[in-house]
A = this chain, B = another copy of it.
Amino acid sequence: MRKRAKKMLRSLSLKPSYLPFKSIFHTSSLRSVVLNTRAFSSAVSPPSKAIVYETHGQPDVVTKLVNIPGAELKENDVCVKMLAAPINPSDINRIQGVYPVRPEPPAIGGYEGVGEVYSVGSAVTSFSPGDWVIPSPPSSGMWQTYVVKDQNVWHKVNKGVPMEYAATITVNPLTALLLLEDCITLNSGDAIVQNGATSMVGQCVIQLAKSRGIHSINIIRDRPGVDEVKERLKHLGADEVFTENELEVKNVKSLLGGIPEPALGFNCVGGKSASLVLKILRQGGTMVTYGGMSKKPVTVSTSSFIFKELSLRGFWLQNWLNTDKTEEGRRMIDRLLGLVQDEKLKYKMELTPFNDFNTALDKALGKHGSQPKQVIKF
């Protein structure tokens, strides 16, 4: 029996010892996998189709769709039938092997998503089949049809929001909320400045700031269709939207009109765009870097530190969540989903069927220019 199972695994090109689901080596699990007799038993998850990468590398080269045998549910496990999961830049970087926190390959892609509880282990009482759940904090292996993880991984969410919002609420909107609430204290009437304003975090920052009466000054790349982009961001609540070139003026303050100089800035681009955030910040302001889309470093003059008294730091959701913030994070996610339900928080996404994963991946990799967030629908 064990021999046949190993042979089958070889045919999947997955080395047994590296398999993400070690539980399939339990005898009962193997039996179910190979004989396929207990696939829909409550004690074993259904077989799963997963986006797997066996080595680090370019995602469009190293990922492939693999059939994974069902896994035995331990008493605290929950089996979730995935509904939707996004392709985030950090997912790409994990596959490339350049993200500091990543599973060792062979691994299944994806770190957030939403699913419906399919079955639960014998000791699980707080989840029932049909519940919508998200991994919170985010957890690896979401790009598959059935995920089995300990109940502590999952957080039940309101089914009243579109599944693509539940699937994407953690990595980007929670980052936006924490940028606004966890760095310095902002009051109604204050202002923030950010670059990368069309990013998902950027769109959320605009709306979350607006809902608290905080002005947002937004920087976007010079690009075709700038006017339409500006219009869209202003419709979300942006006070001002400037292209990088528009800010290449001596007296940048004169462009801000009645908006107070911002004490807080967010940078997800680096290079020249980060320098523009620094330029707009007021004396004593803080710039928080949470991304580096241009792949260029942040350059700061000595006088910015000494005479303008600027402070620079970073924000990484992973670190925030590591500091025992699971419950606080879940409360914030519930707040964010409440805003979604009240139509106070929205962002552009494109849903793509799981069968067309490669199309979504190509778009996420930027092969077709600027695209909305790609969300896989299982």
Q: If A299-B298, A299-B299, A300-B297 touch, does A315 touch B311 (CB 8 Å cutoff)?
A: no
Taking the full assembly, how many copies of this chain does it contain?
2
* Interface: A223 (CB within 8 A): no
Report which residue of A100, A311, A312, A314 has the largest number of chain B beta carbons within 10 angstroms of its beta carbon.
A314
Q: If A313-B311, A316-B309 touch, does A297 touch B302 (CB 8 Å cutoff)?
A: yes
Report which residue of A290, A300, A311, A315 has the largest number of chain B beta carbons within 10 angstroms of its beta carbon.
A300
A300 touches B302 (CB 8 A): no
For A317, the closest partner residue in chain B by CB is B306
A279 CB to closest chain B CB (Å) equals 13
A315-330 at interface with B (beta carbon < 8 Å): 315-316, 319
For the side of the interface on A, what is the size category? 20 to 34
* Interface: A141 (CB within 8 A): no
Residues of B within 8 A of A316 (CB): 306-307, 309
Q: If A298-B300, A300-B298 touch, does A305 touch B319 (CB 8 Å cutoff)?
A: no
Measured in the bound complex, the distance between the Cα atoms of B300 and A289 in whole Å is 11
A302 touches B270 (CB 8 A): yes
Write out, one digit per residue, whether chain A residues 264-299 have a CB within 8 A of any chain B CB (1) or not (0).
000000100000000000000000011110010111
A292 touches B299 (CB 8 A): no
For A288, the closest partner residue in chain B by CB is B305
* Interface: A126 (CB within 8 A): no
* Interface: A185 (CB within 8 A): no
Report which residue of A291, A310, A313 has the largest number of chain B beta carbons within 10 angstroms of its beta carbon.
A313
Residues of B within 8 A of A306 (CB): 289-292, 314-316
Report which residue of A305, A308, A309, A312 has the largest number of chain B beta carbons within 10 angstroms of its beta carbon.
A305
A312 touches B311 (CB 8 A): yes
Residues of B within 8 A of A290 (CB): 306
A206 CB to closest chain B CB (Å) equals 22
Measured in the bound complex, the distance between the Cα atoms of B311 and A314 in whole Å is 7
B311 touches A305 (CB 8 A): no
Residues of B within 8 A of A299 (CB): 297-300
Residues of B within 8 A of A309 (CB): 313-314, 316, 319
User: 19 A–B contact pairs at CB < 8 A?
Assistant: A289-B306, A291-B306, A292-B301, A292-B302, A292-B306, A297-B299, A298-B299, A298-B302, A298-B305, A299-B300, A300-B300, A302-B314, A304-B314, A305-B312, A305-B314, A309-B314, A311-B312, A312-B312, A312-B313
Q: Which residues of A contact B (CB under 8 A)?
A: 100, 270, 289-292, 295, 297-316, 319
Known: A297-B301, A297-B302, A300-B312. 17 other contacts (CB 8 A): A100-B303, A270-B302, A289-B305, A290-B306, A291-B302, A292-B301, A292-B303, A297-B300, A298-B299, A298-B300, A299-B299, A306-B314, A307-B316, A308-B314, A311-B313, A312-B312, A312-B313
